[in-house]
A and B are shown apart, each in its own frame.
Chain A
Amino acid sequence: MSTLSTIVLEIDQQLDQAIKLEGQELQTQFQITEQEHFRRYILTKIGALKIAVPIDDLSEVSVLPQIKHLPNLPTWILGIVNLREEIVSVIDLNGLLALDSSHRKGERVAVIKNDMIKVGVVIDQILGTVSLPDSSIQQVSDETTGMFTQVLLMDEVEYGLLTAEMLLNFKKLTDYYEEH
Chain B
Amino acid sequence: MSQLPREELADILFQEVDGYLPQIQTNLSSLSENMADSSLIGETHRLFHNIKGAASQVGFMELSNSARMSEDVLNDVLENETSLTQEDLTFISTIYDTISGFCHSPDHSFDAEAEHFASVLAGSSENTADGGASTEEVREECLVSLRSILPFLQELAEFSSDKTTVFPESIFKPMSRAISVLASCSKTAELHGHQQLLNSFLLLLKQIRASSSLSAAEISTFLKEVISYLDMVFSIDADKAEPIIERITERFADFSNLVATGERKEAKEAVEDGGTEFLPPENNLFDDLLVEEDALEVPPIEEVFFEEESDLDSEEDKAQELTDEQQELAEIFQAECEEHMLVIDRTLNTLESSVYEDRRSTAELGETLAEMRRAVHTLKGAAGMTGFIDLSSCAHGLEDLLDWLHDESDTVTREDVLIIANTIDTIDSLSSDMSGDYQGTVEANIKDVSNHLDRRKAEGQTEQPVEKTVVVEEGTGERVEEDTMVAGSAGNVRVKLEDLDELGSIEGELVVARGTIEKLVEQLGQSLGDLSTARDALGRKTQELEVGFEAQSLYGFGPSPATGALPVMEETVSSLTDFDPIELDRYSQLNLIIRSLNEISIDVNAIHSQINGVAREIRGQVAKQQLAMGVMQEKLMRIRMTPLSSISRGLYQTVRQTAAKLGKDVQLMIKGEDVYMDRYIWSRILDPMMHLLRNSIDHGIEDAETRVEKGKAATGLITVNAVQRNRFVVLQIIDDGKGVDIDKVRATLIDQGVISTSEQLGEEELMRYLFTPSFSTKDDVTQISGRGVGLDVVQKNIQELRGNVKIENRPGEGLTFELYIPVTLSINRALIVEVSDNLFAVPIQDILEVRRFSNAELQVEADETMQWREKPISFIDLASRLQLPSTGTEEFDGQLALLLETDEEYHAFRVDSIVEQREIVIKDLGSHLKYVRGVNGVTLTGDGEIIPILNVSELTSESPLGALTVASQPMLETNQDEIQVLIVDDSISVRYSISRMIEGQGWVAYQAVDGLDALEKLEELSPDVIVLDIEMPRMNGYEFMSSLRNDQRFSAIPVVMLTSRASEKHRQKAYDLGVNAYVTKPYEEDDFVTLLRSTVSSARE
Q: Which residues in A have some Cβ–Cβ distance to B below 8 Å?
A: 1-5, 7-8, 10-11, 65, 68-75, 77-78, 80-82, 85-89, 116-119, 173-174, 176-178, 180
- Contact assessment for A86 and B926 in the assembled complex, using a CB-CB cutoff below 8 Å: yes
Interface membership of B933, Cβ < 8 A: yes
Asked if A68 meets B967 with Cβ closer than 8 Å, knowing A4-B312, A87-B946, A177-B931, the reply is: no
Q: Do most interface residues of chain A lie in helix, strand or loop, or is the interface mixed?
A: mixed
Asked if A71 meets B966 with Cβ closer than 8 Å, knowing A11-B235, A87-B938, the reply is: no
Q: Which residues in B have some Cβ–Cβ distance to A below 8 Å?
A: 231-232, 235-236, 240, 243, 312, 315-316, 773, 838, 881-884, 923-929, 931-935, 938, 940, 944-946, 948, 959, 961, 963-964, 966-967, 969-971
In order of increasing CB-CB distance, the 4 nearest A-B pairs are: A72-B933, A87-B926, A68-B946, A89-B928
- Contact assessment for A8 and B232 in the assembled complex, using a CB-CB cutoff below 8 Å: yes
- Contact assessment for B948 and A82 in the assembled complex, using a CB-CB cutoff below 8 Å: no
CB-nearest residue of chain B relative to A11? B235
- Shortest CB distance B146–A (Å): 11
CB-nearest residue of chain B relative to A91? B928
Asked if A75 meets B969 with Cβ closer than 8 Å, knowing A2-B315, A4-B315, A68-B938, the reply is: yes
Choose among A86, A87, A173 the residue with the greatest number of B CB atoms under 10 Å from its CB: A87
Choose among B838, B881, B933, B946 the residue with the greatest number of A CB atoms under 10 Å from its CB: B946
22 pairs, A vs B, C-beta closer than 8 Å = A1-B243, A3-B240, A4-B232, A5-B316, A8-B232, A68-B948, A70-B935, A71-B882, A72-B932, A72-B933, A72-B935, A75-B966, A75-B970, A82-B940, A82-B945, A86-B926, A87-B926, A87-B938, A118-B928, A174-B928, A180-B963, A180-B967
Asked if A69 meets B940 with Cβ closer than 8 Å, knowing A7-B235, A89-B926, A177-B933, the reply is: no
Q: Which of B928, B935, B967, B971 is in CB contact (< 8 Å) with A117?
A: B928
- Contact assessment for B315 and A177 in the assembled complex, using a CB-CB cutoff below 8 Å: no
- Contact assessment for B935 and A71 in the assembled complex, using a CB-CB cutoff below 8 Å: yes
- Shortest CB distance A16–B (Å): 13
- Contact assessment for B236 and A80 in the assembled complex, using a CB-CB cutoff below 8 Å: no
Q: Which of A68, A71, A87, A174 is in CB contact (< 8 Å) with B883?
A: A71
- Shortest CB distance B317–A (Å): 9
- Contact assessment for B948 and A180 in the assembled complex, using a CB-CB cutoff below 8 Å: no
Number of A-B contacts (CB under 8 A): 106
Choose among A65, A72, A77, A180 the residue with the greatest number of B CB atoms under 10 Å from its CB: A72
- Contact assessment for B967 and A75 in the assembled complex, using a CB-CB cutoff below 8 Å: yes
Separation of A117 and B316 alpha carbons in the complex (Å): 42
CB-nearest residue of chain A relative to B317? A5
Q: Which of A11, A69, A117 is in CB contact (< 8 Å) with B232?
A: A11
On chain B, the residues within 8 Å of A68 by CB distance are 938, 946, 948
Separation of A74 and B928 alpha carbons in the complex (Å): 13
- Contact assessment for A80 and B926 in the assembled complex, using a CB-CB cutoff below 8 Å: yes
CB-nearest residue of chain A relative to B950? A71
On chain A, the residues within 8 Å of B884 by CB distance are 71
On chain A, the residues within 8 Å of B925 by CB distance are 70, 80, 87, 89
- Contact assessment for B938 and A71 in the assembled complex, using a CB-CB cutoff below 8 Å: no
- Shortest CB distance B989–A (Å): 26
- Shortest CB distance B967–A (Å): 6
Separation of A10 and B235 alpha carbons in the complex (Å): 9
Separation of A8 and B315 alpha carbons in the complex (Å): 12
Asked if A81 meets B315 with Cβ closer than 8 Å, knowing A7-B232, A69-B971, A89-B928, the reply is: no
- Contact assessment for A74 and B970 in the assembled complex, using a CB-CB cutoff below 8 Å: no
Separation of A3 and B312 alpha carbons in the complex (Å): 11
Separation of A82 and B232 alpha carbons in the complex (Å): 58
On chain A, the residues within 8 Å of B935 by CB distance are 70-72
- Contact assessment for A5 and B967 in the assembled complex, using a CB-CB cutoff below 8 Å: no
Asked if A80 meets B938 with Cβ closer than 8 Å, knowing A11-B231, A68-B948, A71-B932, the reply is: yes
- Shortest CB distance B246–A (Å): 13
- Shortest CB distance A114–B (Å): 9
- Shortest CB distance A49–B (Å): 19
- Shortest CB distance B366–A (Å): 47
On chain A, the residues within 8 Å of B316 by CB distance are 5
- Contact assessment for A70 and B232 in the assembled complex, using a CB-CB cutoff below 8 Å: no
CB-nearest residue of chain A relative to B509? A85
- Shortest CB distance A132–B (Å): 28
Separation of A174 and B931 alpha carbons in the complex (Å): 11
- Contact assessment for A3 and B236 in the assembled complex, using a CB-CB cutoff below 8 Å: yes
- Contact assessment for A5 and B315 in the assembled complex, using a CB-CB cutoff below 8 Å: yes
On chain A, the residues within 8 Å of B243 by CB distance are 1
- Contact assessment for B315 and A1 in the assembled complex, using a CB-CB cutoff below 8 Å: yes
Choose among B235, B925, B963, B969 the residue with the greatest number of A CB atoms under 10 Å from its CB: B925
